[in-house]
Structures are given as structure tokens and as C-alpha cells.
Amino acid sequence: MLSVDAQLIEHMMSPKNYGSLAGSDAQGIGKNPENGEKVVIYLKVGKDEEMPYIEDIRFQAIGCTTTVVAGSMLTEEAKGLNFNGAKNLVEATMKLLDKLPAEDAACSEMVALAIKAAVDTYEKRREDPDYPVITYVVSNSCVPKEENETKETN
């Protein structure tokens, strides 16, 4: 079993599930308007006894290394989950991020929100096939508080 540091390095050096997914059933976007970073999640959805599940998942990111590592790790966790499991993964991730400084949480939040957006887009398109891709915006700032406070006072 790899240590946590070794796992992080592995995801950084060889991100899992990176790229687009031909024939995807849904996409979702997580976005940080503060710096222009964004993550797109592509889902291939399978159905097992009418419960949709993530058969395959890919992501693309315009962002920092932390965003790519988070994308690699969270898509690995999401693969194979039914939609309830995927929603629980997003919720659990968001709760963990609440314990971090905002600037450390923003990248992972962006990935989690993109997964949520892809699942929500898929569900909306079951009712309306032309429903647009959903985009969710991060609530965390990736600028450290000290820098924000300096900008506000100058």
C-alpha cells in the first residue's frame, strides 16, 4: 500500500482519467471566476436496475497541479459509484474542505462541483434532452486571506 505522499505524487505524475470521453452521456463544469480556472467532467452512465451509475469518467482542467491531482483522485473515487454514491462523495468532499483554509480548498471544490454538475446535467437531460451543461462556481477563494486583506486596504 502506498503512503499518502506516494499516492499524491503518483496522481501528480500520472493523472488518472485525464482527457475527454467520446460519446459521454453528460458533462459538468466547476469554475473559479476569480482566476479563470475550470474543470470539465465527462460521464459515461450505465444503468443497473434503473439506478444510473458512473460507468466511466474523465476530466479536463485549466488549472494548477492541485486541481489536476484532485481531479485524478476524485474521478478514481467516483468511478463505479451509483448517482447516490456520487452525491455522497461530493458531499463528503465538501465537508472535508470546510476544515481547510479557503485557498487550499478551492481546487478540490472545483472538481467536486464539476462532478455534481455532470450528475445534475444527466438527470435534467432525462426530462429535457436539450438542457444545457450545468456550471457551478466555487465558494472558496484561492487567494490567501492575507493577500485579500492587503488588496482591500490598498
* pLDDT band (50, 70, 90) for residue 64: confident
Domain CATH number, residue 117:
3.90.1010.10
In the chain, the percentage of residues whose pLDDT exceeds 90 is 65
Q: Which of 112, 94, 86 is nearest to 32 (CA)?
A: 112
Mean pLDDT of 47-63: 91
Residue 33 domain boundaries: 4-153
Lowest mean pLDDT among 58-62, 80-84, 94-98: 94-98
Mean pLDDT of 125-136: 96
- Does 58 have pLDDT greater than 90? yes
pTM of the full structure: 0.88
Q: Would you tell me how many other CB atoms lie within 10 Å of the CB of residue 145? A: 11
More confident residue, 44 or 152: 44
Mean pLDDT of 129-135: 96
- Does 5 have pLDDT greater than 80? no
Whole-angstrom distance, CA of residue 72 vs CA of residue 107: 12
Dihedrals φ, ψ of 27, to 5°? -130, 160
- What's at 43, amino acid-wise? L
Domain count, the chain: 1
